[in-house]
């Protein structure tokens, strides 16, 4: 298990380091986060995704609360 942890952490560190290098290179070569955000908003409807996510977690919370109340009812 420890060996697997070591391998996973090393791979992740390599990926994160590469990502940081790419990000820094992109910024230093004239990249703009605002342009990326514009491209994302143009290509994808993020607000709808956020709404879907919010609805999903709200439903999950309600289900968990319902299960909890049922378990409490069974115990009492």
Partner 1 sequence: MDSPLKLTVEMSRAYTKGGLEEVLGMCDDLVSGQWIPDDLSETIREQVFNAIDEQTFSSIDIVTGGPEAPATENPLEDDGLVAIFEQDMEQEKGSDDGEETSEEYSLESETPAEEPEEAAADEEEVQEETPEDTADQPEEVPAEEPSEESSEEPEAVAEDVPEEAGEIEEVVEVEEIETPEEAPSELAEEVRKDAEIIREELEDLEPEDYPMTEETYYKARWWALIPYAIVAIPLGLIGVVICAAVTLAILAVAAALVAACVLGASLALQNGMDVLADIILVAGAALIAAGLALLVIWLAVWFASNTIGGIVGGLYRLGRKWCYKEVVEK
Binding site for partner 1 (CB under 8 A): 1, 4-5, 8-9, 11-16, 18-27, 29-33, 35-36, 39-40, 43-44, 64, 71
CB of 44 to partner 1, least distance (A): 7
CB of 34 to partner 1, least distance (A): 10
CB of 63 to partner 1, least distance (A): 11
Residue (11 or 58) nearer to partner 1, CB: 11
**Residue 60 DSSP code:** H
Contacting residues for 40 by C-beta, under 8 A, at least 6 apart: 46
Are 14 and 20 in contact, with CB atoms under 8 Å apart?
no
What 3-state class would DSSP assign to 76? coil
Residue (58 or 71) nearer to partner 1, CB: 71
């Amino acid at each position: 298990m420890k060996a697997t942890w070591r391998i996973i952490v090393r791979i992740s560190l390599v990926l994160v380091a590469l990502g940081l290098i790419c990000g820094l290179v992109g910024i230093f070569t004239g990249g703009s986060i605002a342009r990326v955000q514009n491209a994302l908003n143009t290509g994808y409807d993020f607000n709808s995704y956020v709404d879907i996510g919010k609805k999903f977690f709200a439903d999950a919370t309600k289900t968990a609360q319902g299960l909890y109340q049922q378990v409490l009812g069974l115990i009492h």
